[in-house]
Structure 1
Amino acid sequence: MFVFFALFGFLFILIGTVGFLIKAIFKKSKRKFGILALVGIAMFMVAVVISPDDIEPEKEKADSVEQTPTDEPVETKKKAPEKESVEEIEKPEKKISKDVEEKSVPVVMPSKNHSSKVTPEKLKDSTETSGTTARIPVELVKVIDGDTIKIIYNDKEQNVRYLLIDTPETNHPRLGKQPFGDEAKARNKELIESGTLEIEFDVGERFDKYNRLLAYIYIDGKNVQKILLSEGLARVAYIYPPNTRYVDPYEKTQAIAKEKKLGIWSVEDYATDTGFNAQAVKEKPAEPAPNSLITEQPVAPAPAAKPSQPVQSTEFFQNCTELRKTYPNGVPSSHPAYQSKMDRDKDGFACER
């Protein structure tokens, strides 16, 4: 309707005006064209009065009738409800995202008294306590050697390999027993059983290829790796980034023990960058015994003779400290300086470290 009145109104005005001008030029009657122009003005005014806003609802209503099923009323299709339904859909999504944010699990930093919070599933995640110095209390099962223990962790037994150090072997299938291996194991056992045991992870892999946990070990807050290094019973080894948190302090501690020639550093070329060279210990020449008392065992002692020392010992030392000055690695039962009282573990080797 708007288009109709506007178009024809404009047409009538144009024709009436042009006709009126032509008649005026030729001085003829202009009444018909004047009426036509007035009718056109009237129609144009009607078109202006009829606004498109009055027509738009009818168009929208017609569209809604076409989209609405025949068995539903036309009035059910309205603009406002559609807007409300969109808002209702958007609001739950915002609510769900908010709930997800609120329920997101942060990185767990187990405290000393809550190791149970670290589940086996989380244990496989290298980010669990990664980048922190959080320590987890654990229960000791047994000491395997100088750098390996078995613990109860997450309700199951788990072997733990000490990070960044290596000690001589005690019962290796290929290397066998290496010098200072028993000493390292004995000292490790003494430390581990002396207080509260805790482990600390680094930022890298949690397990080695033998499925052993990789960790730093603490007893009453003291780092066991560092103690073994300081006493010359371990060397810095197996440095695999990014598990390198304590490499620098460990190497400084090792340098001091090496300078003092303690333990594994007392034998030249025994501890190397690739491991322990047992051959270097075997090839070391025997040192003289300046403070020892050497006597010959009598073949047939007189019945009245009262020996001042046991006949089975031909080389006498007061204790292991004195014996180690001459024999740093101890002596076997076949050695003339062997005494059973110095063989505490009764393994046929006295004063071993």
Structure 2
Amino acid sequence: MSDTRATILVTGGCGYIGTHTIVCLLQKDYDVVVADNLSNSSIVSLDRVAEIVGLSEHDRASRLVFHQVDICDEAAFRKVFESSPRFESCIHFAGLKAVGESTKKPLLYYDNNLSGTFVLLRMMDEFQCHSLVFSSSATVYGAAENMPITEDTPVGAGITNAYGRTKYMIEEILRDFYQSQTLEESTTDWSITILRYFNPVGSHPSGKIGEDPNGIPNNLMPYVAQVAIGRREHLTVFGSDYNTADGTGVRDYLHVMDLADGHLAAMDYMKQKKSGIFTFNLGTGNGYSVLDMVKAMGKACGHEIKYVVGNRRQGDIATCFADANLAKNEMGWVASRDLDEMCRDLWCWQTQNPNGFAGQPCESQ
């Protein structure tokens, strides 16, 4: 670690959004310490990050430090803080995230996601790191009826799974925690930013890192990409009778690199503001239907994507997209990459890594 560069702690940093954010941090001359238990990620992802950024072995040893640790294990996680210089900020990605699994194992999700956050806040407070960016989700809005969704749209009601409820609960915990700091002292130097993601897709344009879900993908675009590469026979489109232009569900998709940039924008914003708790939507403000995404991926890969139409899924809504003007006006953040770029970069990742980080690279198709 450098005496001149600031050090950022990234929990869950070996995951999809974490790795892309670490690329941006290293390119902005931050040092990074990663804490990840590798339960749903691969250490290979950090090797790829080092390749993208061009870190030598010597530089990697000092600028990208990895701890395989479960943040719920307070004694083990404490050693991360004890062995590192003071962290300027923490970006908190760590947590279980499979929506379907969370409905089957809700206690696991509540225990893991909430407990990890409790431990993190205690450690940050003890070791004087008072800047936090939290990875939240648009799922906190539940079945919002009015579009676009702003940060003032009600949250907490209509959430259909335990994963989404943990995100909502953690947001409430962070607000209570922040308020407690202002009560103890007339002022506080704590800054907390809650980022509500819409639907990240794509990969780094190099194709070296990308989304690598365990088992059957829960999200649309990794599944579409696996159909495109031949790992799965076809996509099932859940419902074609919604009140949308083509009858399929509409969502707000944004490039993962735009999302990664949003975390650095949040850190810069907190430096300017000195203290406070802030909430921002990160999305494009545009809605794309399932069939729009299928067609765009077909364009990127050069052949049609096979799909069949099935019944609606319980809990799905017709349309969901963001109003991201607050992030633009306050942080200066705008999602700049378009749908073609999202799909082109996703295809680049999928062709180079047809079986994810576990497989051997193959020639692009």
TM-score (norm 2): 0.23
Determine which structure has more spread, i.e. the larger CA radius of gyration.
Answer: 1
TM-score (norm 1): 0.23
Query: Which structure has the higher relative contact order (CA within 8 Å, separation 6+)?
Result: 2
